[in-house]
């Protein structure tokens, strides 16, 4: 099997993985970013999530926005909604400027290399061209960062994880159900529609859609429950339910002079596994505006959970709460960091800060931490967190969040 070597391997090229890879490379590490899709961008591309929710805008997220502001007519108009292809373009452009970064698209992480409880790399599968068919490669690295969204790498390494809702008794969370279960937030298939009859005065009035200008609407197209968002067969069943749920709205749009002009490549999964780290962020941490000494970013986003019983829990917060570095460090497993929507938090807590702007900053913190670990020969749980915090807010990373926390 072909062998590659890097200081840092990032699995998953969504907002968190892209931030991680760019930051690790800028910190001087040799980085390989593995993405199974053809394009970088993760949810912003393959789930058609084409709108930024509020948060502290800085770092790589700001750089992507600067490119969108030059290229994307929707972003110029709305300052928050955008088009997937321009998001992918921005990632591609930024990645191509990093000499320390190798991007392997069309490449899927399928396993981990381990020495005891330490991850030492990943096994990936891709297409070899010519007469090779499928090929597998081993990529050895000092640190692997799992930004797969689902925590697949961490699970392959034997990390502890949570799936579903915690019982109220466990962390005393006000919005937790009385009894724990295996239900997660609902899945939603995003799509866009456009007014094609110039005489139509119709305004789409389904649940959750947004006028993004130029006669176009972005639709949070359905709310379907999936029995297990990490299981291919269960996802297939949810996809069938999603088509059934969306077709009546498609017909309404067409009757009223609209056309459905773009359905996301994949049904959007809001939640799957949460890898248990050295700290688990809870609803009470968010409510109380908890400050952690190892904070790497903050959010003021309240809960935003599309609960399985179709009752959307949403409430705003005004105070900031911190995301601690220890939530990125899986318990017991070394050589591994977890960033993005699979990091260590409860079902309720995660619902607020899972949005792109925040996970991008979290990813950048993971990238700098991994580079620091590689440069010093330490494990991610042993790094100098004060140095990480200082580097995060310094050029070229510019993840400037702490002054916003005090505002
Ligand atoms: C329907 C829906 C609507 C949303 N609406 C908004 C919104 O309006 N605003 C907002 O800010 N956020 C929104 N979000 C949340 C936000 O999009 C995600 O939480 C966030 O993008 C998660 O980023 P991530 O990097 O953790 O994971 P993802 O964006 O999911 O990226 C994971 C990447 O890893 C890749 N990958 C997975 N496994 C492997 C593997 N084994 N090998 C190689 N690559 C792999 C995937 O292909 C993907 O590119 C929404 C989410 C959904 C589902």
Q: Mean pLDDT over residues 307-324, rounded? A: 78
One domain for residues 258 and 367: no
For the residues of 297-322, what is the DSSP string, one character each?
EEE----EEE-TTS-EEE----S-EE
Centroid of ligand 1 to alpha carbon of 133 (angstroms): 29
CA 64, CA 180: separation in Å to the nearest integer?
Answer: 39
pLDDT digits (tens, 9 = 90+) for 2-39: 999 999 999 999 999 999 999 999 999 999 999 999 99
Q: Mean pLDDT over residues 241-247, rounded? A: 97
Q: For ligand 1, say whether the CB of 108 is within 6 Å of any of its atoms.
A: yes
Instruction: Residue 349: name the closest of 174, 209, 224 by CA.
Output: 174
One domain for residues 86 and 151: yes
Centroid of ligand 1 to alpha carbon of 352 (angstroms): 14
**pLDDT at 284 (0 to 100):** 93
180 inside domain: no
Instruction: Tell me: pLDDT of 103 over 80.
Output: yes
Instruction: Tell me: pLDDT of 316 over 70.
Output: no
**pLDDT at 374 (0 to 100):** 98
One domain for residues 301 and 375: yes
CB atoms within 10 A of CB 355: 21
Provide the mean pLDDT of the chain.
Answer: 95
Instruction: Tell me: pLDDT of 317 over 80.
Output: no
One domain for residues 258 and 332: no
Coil vs helix vs strand at 223: coil
Element (H, E) at 230: none
160 inside domain: yes
Centroid of ligand 1 to alpha carbon of 200 (angstroms): 35
**pLDDT at 109 (0 to 100):** 98
Peptide bond preceding 396 in cis form (omega within 30 of 0): yes
**pLDDT at 310 (0 to 100):** 66
345 inside domain: yes
One domain for residues 369 and 243: no
CA 114, CA 122: separation in Å to the nearest integer?
Answer: 9
Question: Structure tokens of 38?
Answer: 């053809």
What confidence category does residue 206 fall into, taking pLDDT thresholds of 50, 70 and 90?
confident
Which stretches of 214-257 are assigned E, i.e. beta strand? 216-220
Longest C-alpha distance within the chain, in Å? Answer: 68
CA 39, CA 196: separation in Å to the nearest integer?
Answer: 29
Q: For ligand 1, say whether the CB of 55 is within 6 Å of any of its atoms.
A: no
Coil vs helix vs strand at 143: strand
Instruction: Residue 218: name the closest of 190, 246, 256 by CA.
Output: 190
At CA 185, angle to CA 179 and CA 190, rounded to 5? 170
Of 228, 263, 298, the position where a domain reaches its end is 263
Q: For ligand 1, say whether the CB of 297 is within 6 Å of any of its atoms.
A: no
302 inside domain: yes
Of 203, 238, 263, the position where a domain reaches its end is 263
Coil vs helix vs strand at 19: helix
Q: Are 381 and 370 in contact (CB under 8 A)?
A: no
155 inside domain: yes
**pLDDT at 301 (0 to 100):** 86
CA 298, CA 386: separation in Å to the nearest integer?
Answer: 16
**How far apart, in Å, are the Cα atoms of 295 and each of 221, 239, 385?**
35, 38, 9
Q: For ligand 1, say whether the CB of 14 is within 6 Å of any of its atoms.
A: yes
If one counts the domains in the chain, the total is 2
Q: Are 368 and 391 in contact (CB under 8 A)?
A: yes
CA 73, CA 156: separation in Å to the nearest integer?
Answer: 42
Q: Mean pLDDT over residues 367-389, rounded? A: 98
Q: Are 73 and 104 in contact (CB under 8 A)?
A: no
| Helix spans in 54-185 (H) | 59-71, 73-78, 84-96, 152-156, 168-171
One domain for residues 89 and 20: yes
Q: For ligand 1, say whether the CB of 356 is within 6 Å of any of its atoms.
A: yes
Nearest CA to ligand 1 atom 37: 148
Centroid of ligand 1 to alpha carbon of 359 (angstroms): 9
**pLDDT at 261 (0 to 100):** 95
Structure-token match 């995660």, residue found: 350
**pLDDT at 227 (0 to 100):** 97
Centroid of ligand 1 to alpha carbon of 273 (angstroms): 13
127 inside domain: yes
Residues of the domain holding 385: 2-166+273-406
Q: Tell how many helices (H) and how many strands (E) occur in the chain.
A: 13, 19
Of 244, 263, 282, the position where a domain reaches its end is 263
One domain for residues 104 and 220: no
Nearest CA to ligand 1 atom 3: 49
Q: Mean pLDDT over residues 271-286, rounded? A: 96
One domain for residues 110 and 209: no
Rounded to the nearest 10°, the torsion over CA 365, 27, 90, 405 is: 30
383 inside domain: yes
One domain for residues 213 and 81: no
Centroid of ligand 1 to alpha carbon of 14 (angstroms): 6
178 inside domain: no
Q: Mean pLDDT over residues 200-214, rounded? A: 93
Element (H, E) at 264: none
pLDDT digits (tens, 9 = 90+) for 336-362: 999 999 999 999 999 999 999 999 999
- Residue 346 is part of a domain; what is its CATH number? 3.50.50.60
Question: Structure tokens of 393?
Answer: 């807010």
- Percentage of the chain lying above the pLDDT 70 cut: 98
One domain for residues 307 and 394: yes
One domain for residues 120 and 215: no
What confidence category does residue 86 fall into, taking pLDDT thresholds of 50, 70 and 90?
very high
One domain for residues 238 and 281: no
Q: Are 352 and 304 in contact (CB under 8 A)?
A: yes
Instruction: Tell me: pLDDT of 285 over 70.
Output: yes
């Amino acid at each position: 099997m072909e062998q590659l070597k890097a200081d840092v391997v990032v699995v998953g090229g969504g907002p968190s993985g892209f931030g991680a890879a760019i930051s690790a490379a800028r910190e001087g590490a040799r980085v390989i970013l593995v993405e199974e899709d053809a394009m970088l961008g993760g949810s912003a591309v393959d789930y058609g999530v084409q709108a930024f929710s509020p948060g502290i805008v800085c770092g790589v997220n700001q750089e992507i926005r600067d490119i969108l502001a030059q290229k994307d007519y929707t972003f110029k108009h709305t300052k928050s909604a955008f088009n997937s292809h321009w998001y992918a373009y921005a990632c591609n452009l930024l990645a191509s400027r990093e000499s320390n970064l190798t991007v392997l698209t069309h490449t899927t992480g399928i396993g981990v290399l381990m020495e005891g409880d330490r991850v030492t790399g990943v096994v990936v599968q891709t297409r070899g061209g010519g007469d090779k068919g499928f090929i597998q490669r081993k990529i050895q690295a000092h640190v692997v960062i799992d930004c797969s969204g689902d925590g697949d790498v961490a699970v392959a390494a034997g990390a502890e994880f949570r799936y579903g809702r915690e019982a109220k008794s466990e962390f005393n969370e006000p919005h937790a159900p009385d009894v724990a279960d295996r239900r997660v937030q609902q899945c939603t298939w995003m799509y866009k529609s456009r007014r094609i009859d110039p005489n139509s005065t119709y305004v789409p009035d389904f649940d959750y859609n947004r006028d993004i200008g130029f006669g176009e609407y972005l639709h949070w197209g359905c709310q379907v429950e999936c029995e297990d968002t990490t299981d291919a067969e269960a996802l297939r069943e949810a996809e069938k339910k999603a088509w059934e749920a969306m077709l009546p709205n498609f017909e309404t749009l067409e009757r009223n002079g609209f056309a459905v002009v773009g359905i996301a490549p994949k049904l959007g999964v809001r939640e799957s596994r949460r890898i248990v780290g050295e700290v688990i962020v809870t609803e009470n941490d968010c409510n109380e505006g908890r400050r952690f000494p190892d904070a790497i970013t903050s959010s003021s986003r309240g809960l935003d959970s599309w609960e399985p019983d179709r009752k959307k829990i949403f409430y705003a917060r005004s105070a900031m709460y911190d995301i601690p570095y220890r939530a990125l460090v899986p318990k017991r497993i070394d050589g591994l960091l977890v960033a993005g929507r699979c990091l260590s938090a409860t079902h309720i807590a995660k619902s607020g800060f899972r949005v792109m702007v925040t996970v991008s900053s979290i990813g950048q913190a993971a990238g700098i931490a991994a580079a620091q670990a590689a440069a010093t020969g330490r494990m991610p749980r042993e790094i100098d967190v004060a140095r990480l915090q200082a580097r995060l807010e310094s050029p070229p990373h510019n993840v400037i969040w702490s002054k916003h926390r005090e505002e």
